[in-house]
Amino acid sequence: MKSGMLAAEATWTALSSSDSGTIFLYDYEDSLRKSSIWKELKEVRNMRPSFHSPLKLYGGVLYSGLEAFILKGKVPWTLKHKGTDYDATGAADSYPKIEYEKPDGKITFDILTSVSRTGTNHEEDQPVHLRVPDWDKHAQEEWPKYKGIENRFCPAGVYEYVEDESKDIGVRFQINAQNCIHCKTCDIKVPNQNINWTTPQGGEGPKYFMT
């Protein structure tokens, strides 16, 4: 939240001092480095990567405890993740299919109910802000191996594979961009990395204050 506030302030400064069509947020990184965010992130930078190091699970737990309570990120090294989220995605046939219980409407809820409670709103006729260069090619690359991983990692039902006999693989790829809550999981997690999240027209999206 603080990083967004700093970005807004940097944008205002840039717009106020420039009459040209292009602006640059020169103040943003400086403001970020001087804020409490930078210190907090530096302190915890090695925690998650430690689990992907030779320390593995239990070593990562112990190391994270040391970082949190003693080292406070003051070590001279920075650990790295061994790979990316999308590279870690396995083929669907390598795992058993999970059958989830039907939502009870009290503790668990269906996707559309959850999305409605975020107050998400996008104009129906605005350009789709989730950019996929070729929908058919995307389906051909993703469906046979991953069996619609997008509609499993997306919390808002944005992506669907709809049965379509006219397609070689029997389904067609569909994007319901109006449901998007801007988590950006698709941009990070999709295996072939061809979904590009962009800022929606008018800055529309979820209004979490309604909850």
Q: What is the pLDDT of residues 4-36, one digit of tens each?
A: 899 999 999 888 887 777 788 888 999 999 999
> Is 82 part of any domain?
no
Give the integer Cα–Cα distance in Å for 11 and 174. Answer: 34
| Single-letter amino acid code for the residue at 101 | E
Looking at the domain assignment, is residue 206 inside a domain?
no
φ and ψ of 35, to 5 deg: -85, 170
Can you read off the two tokens belonging to residue 121?
Answer: 């709103």
Whether residue 116 is found in the same domain as residue 59: no
- Whether residue 6 is contained in a domain is answered as yes
Give the pLDDT score at 201.
Answer: 84
Return the number of other C-beta atoms located less than 10 Å from residue 138's C-beta: 19
Residue 204 domain flag: no
* Whether residue 104 sits in one domain with residue 180: yes
- What does the pLDDT read at residue 196? 96
CATH of the domain at 189: 3.30.70.20
d(CA 162, CA 59): 44
pTM over 0.85: no
pLDDT value of residue 87: 92
Does 131 reside within a domain?
A: yes
Burial group, residue 70, by CB count within 10 angstroms (0-12, 13-18, 19+)? exposed
Report the pLDDT value the prediction gives residue 210, as an integer from 0 to 100: 47
CA distances from 151 to 42, 145, 160 (A): 34, 14, 6
Whether residue 54 is found in the same domain as residue 121: no
| Domain ranges, residue 44 | 1-70
Domain count, the chain: 2
- How far lies 2's CA from each of 40, 41, 83, 169, in Å? 12, 13, 28, 45
CA 127 to chain CA centroid, Å, is 20
Identify the segments of the chain with pLDDT beneath 70.
208-211
Whether 133 and 183 map to the same domain: the answer is yes
